[in-house]
Amino acid sequence: MCGRLTLTHPTEALAALFSATPGNDLPQVPNYNLCPTQDVPVVTSDAGRRLRAMRWGLVPSWYKTPTDGPLIINARSDTVAEKPAFREAIRQRRCILLASGFYEWSAGEGRERLPWHITRADGAPLALGALWTPSGDMATVAVVTLGAGPNLIPIHDREPLVLDPADWPLWLGEAGHGAARLMQVTAPGVLVSHRVDKAVNSNRASGPELIEPI
């Protein structure tokens, strides 16, 4: 599961990396504790790539308001083509959610939750496979997740779909059909992780100290 993000790469760098036209309402950088319901930077492709802001937490078409049902921040790869909330979006509205890292929690003693910060080993931004849907005057997004691979299985049993640059055109629908084959766990060594302070367990925490190793 992917439930909290960090965003420290400059907006201009993200736009250049994807050759995308940036919007005027992109999330403020840096953010060391980006939470569901906040805006996240997303790349879409429709007559050109756009870097735009979307609310993290997909709102299905039958919701009358964003709070009419459970908060949907992730979409499981094994059921994404079948679930009514996702099946149209996974075919027609795939996108890439950009982050610098994400937090995950492992089990400690008793009910203790131990936070970890996960990034790419090469320091590049994370390109997370996602899907989106329009909802009134806003767009909302959910991250596709899979069973954890060798990078994260010691920490948690789920991981987000991390796309390599060569896969971006296919996921965005620019390179034809067959995006389903991209829904595979991240190769060993691509991601690195380190323990961080439990201060990040609060969604109100902020500041660069949240990602400092302990």
Amino acid at 200: V
Whether 95 is catalytic is no
Q: Which residues pair with 118 in a beta bridge?
A: 102, 193
Whether 159 is catalytic is no
- What is the β-pairing status of strands 49-56 and 21-22? parallel
From the candidates 12, 35, 82, 104, give the one annotated as an active-site residue.
Answer: 104
- Per-position DSSP letters for 127-177, written without gaps between them: EEEEEEEEETTEEEEEEEEEE--TTTTTT-SEEE-BPPGGGHHHHTTSS-S
Tell me how far apart the terminal alpha carbons of the chain are, to the nearest angstrom.
Answer: 23
In 3D space, the residue among 9, 187, 18, 177 whose CA is nearest the CA of residue 96 turns out to be: 18
Q: How is residue 39 written in tokens?
A: 């805006």
In 3D space, the residue among 150, 153, 149 whose CA is nearest the CA of residue 185 turns out to be: 149
From the candidates 2, 35, 174, 209, give the one annotated as an active-site residue.
Answer: 2
d(CA 151, CA 88): 31
Amino acid at 26: L
Please name the residue that has the structure tokens 């992730």: 74
- Catalytic positions, written as ranges: 2, 104
